[in-house]
């Protein structure tokens, strides 16, 4: 079966390109431009294991979104896809198991590493 992957990014073309690539890679992709609809989708949608999160979002910043989603969905794994070059992971996110390998800086000339990371995270979630 194909896994769901959640994408939150306010840049439409980024969303669409990621969706296209990941769908080609066999994912079912749910993409939202902000956190609120994403939460709504998660609440009544299918179980989702991986989320690619942008940092600058219209309704809240990516770090807070990750905290919020993690609280409700502790199994959800995050990949950070940010346009900010000076982004560094806050300590509490590191405490949640995130590290610098989860951070991907825009522009991603090659989305293959991101897709591979998402696949690895989804597989890790399957194991236990």
Query: Would you count residue 101 as binding another protein (CB under 8 A)?
Result: no
Query: Would you count residue 1 as binding another protein (CB under 8 A)?
Result: no
Query: Would you count residue 73 as binding another protein (CB under 8 A)?
Result: no
Range in contact with another protein (rule: CB under 8 A) among 12-20, 35-43, 95-103, 116-124: 12-20
Q: Which residues pair with 80 in a beta bridge?
A: 53, 103
Provide the CB-side half-sphere exposure for 101 (13 A, CA): 9
> How big is the site for another protein, counted in residues (CB under 8 A)?
22
Contact 22, 48 (CB under 8 A): no
Task: Select the residue interacting with another protein from 6, 7, 18, 50 (CB under 8 A).
Answer: 18
Interacting residues with another protein between 81 and 100 (CB under 8 A) = 83-86, 88
21 burial (CB, 10 Å; 0-12 / 13-18 / 19+) is: middle
């Amino acid at each position: 079966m194909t896994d769901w992957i959640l994408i939150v990014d306010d840049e439409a073309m980024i969303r669409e390109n990621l969706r296209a690539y990941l769908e080609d890679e066999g994912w079912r992709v749910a993409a939202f431009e902000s956190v609120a609809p994403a939460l709504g989708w998660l609440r009544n949608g299918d179980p989702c294991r991986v989320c690619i999160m942008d940092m600058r979002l219209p309704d809240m910043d990516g770090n807070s979104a990750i905290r919020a989603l993690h609280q409700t969905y502790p199994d959800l794994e995050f990949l950070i896809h940010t346009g900010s070059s000076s982004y560094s992971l806050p300590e509490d996110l590191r405490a949640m198991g995130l590290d610098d390998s989860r951070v991907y800086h825009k522009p991603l000339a090659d989305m293959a590493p991101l897709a591979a990371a998402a696949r690895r995270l989804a597989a890790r979630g399957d194991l236990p």
